[in-house]
Amino acid sequence: MTLVLRHSEISSLLDRAAVFGAVERALSELSTGSAQNPAPPSMDGTEDGRIIPMVAQSGTAELAVVKVLSDLPGNRARGLPRQRSTMLVTSTRTGECVAVLDGRAITAIRTAAASAVATAHLARADSSVVGVVGAGNLAVEHVRALSSIRDLDSIVVWSRSADTVERFRDGIADLDLKIEHAVSVEDVVRQSHIVCTLTPSVEPILFGQWLNAGTHLNVVGAAPRPNEREVDGTAMARSRVVVDSIATALSKSGDALLAIAEGAVDDSHFDTELGDVITGRKTGRSTDAEITLFDSTGIGLEDLAVAELVIHRARATGVGTEIDLTS
C-alpha cells in the first residue's frame, strides 16, 4: 500500500527535535558511504522556471526518494508559491511505492534543521545573538531550530517589509526572546554571532567586509541556480566554507559558483561536506576567531530522512490515505 499525505497532515506530524537528529544522521551516512545523493539535473520549465529532480538513497532505511522541485518565479504574479515540490518514496528492497508526500513542510523544516546541525558543529559555543536576513516562515523555522541547540539571548531581524517582521515576531513569541528590527543587513551582521540569510536574492545582499571574527553564517535562501546568490565573493573567501554536498554545491550554488567565477576562491574552497565534520573526517571550526559558513543548497537525502520519520508516525497514528497503486 502507498501512503498519501497532504501538507496539513505532514505539518501535524513533524517533530523538530526528531528532525534535527534524522538530518544529522543522514549527513553522517553520506560521509560514511551508507547513503547516496548524486547532484541533481536541472531542466527548463515554463517561462523562467526550473524543474529539479532530487534523488537520494539510504541503505540504512532501505528507502529511496525522488523529490520533484519546481522553481517558478512566474508564480508570484499568479499569487502562488515560487517553489513547490512533491516526494515519491520507494523501498530499495521491494521496489514498492511507500509514500507520496507534499514537500512544502518537510522542505522548510529540514532546511532549518540542516542549518541547526551546521550551527551545532561550526558556531562558537558562546554564540547567543542570531541575525536573520529575511523574516518569512523560513526565518521562524530557523530561530526555532537554533533555539534548541544554543542558549539564545536575542534575535536581530531585517526585512524589506515591516509587516513581515511583525508576523515573524508573532511566530516566535512563545520563545520569549528579545527581538530587534535592524535598519539594514549590515546592522544585522555587525551585531550577530550567528547569521542566517533567508532571502530569494539574485544579487549579493550580504558583503564579506561586514563580517566580524568568529561569526558563523548559514547561507540558505537563494534558489538552486548557478547565477543567483545572497553573499559576495569576499564573504566566501574570508570564511571556512562547509557544504551539504560538494557535487550539488558546485552545480547549483550560485554563492559558490559566482565566487569561483570572480576568482575570489577556487573549487578547493568547497572541499568539506557537513557530514565529514560530523563524523570527524574533516575539521570544521579551528579557532574562535575563524569565520565559518554553511552553504546550504538542500539535498534529497535530508528530505528522505524526514520523510521516513513522517511515514512511520503517520502509520502509527492512522494519519493519511492508503492506496493500492497496483490494483
Express each pLDDT in 96-152 by its tens digit: 999 999 999 999 999 999 999 999 999 999 999 999 999 999 999 999 999 999 999
The span from the CA of 186 to the CA of 211, in Å, is: 9
Average confidence score pLDDT of the chain: 96
Quote the cell numbers at residue 129: 545573538
Beta strands in 170-235 (DSSP E): 178-181, 194-197, 216-219
SS3 269: helix
Please give the pLDDT value at position 264: 98
Contact 206, 133 (CB under 8 A): yes
Handedness of CA 31, 285, 252, 4 (dihedral sign): positive
Burial of residue 206 (CB within 10 Å: 0-12, 13-18, 19+) is buried
Q: Give tens-digit pLDDT for 57-99.
A: 999 999 999 999 999 999 988 999 999 999 999 999 999 999 9
How many Å apart are CA 187 and CA 319, to the nearest integer? 45
- Structure confidence at residue 191 (pLDDT): 97
Encode pLDDT of 226-275 as tens digits.
Answer: 999 999 999 999 999 999 999 999 999 999 999 999 999 999 999 999 99
Q: Are 294 and 276 in contact (CB under 8 A)?
A: no
Cell 529539479 sits on residue: 52
How confident is the model over 155-197, as pLDDT tens digits? 999 999 999 999 999 999 999 999 999 999 999 999 999 999 9
The pLDDT of residue 309: 97
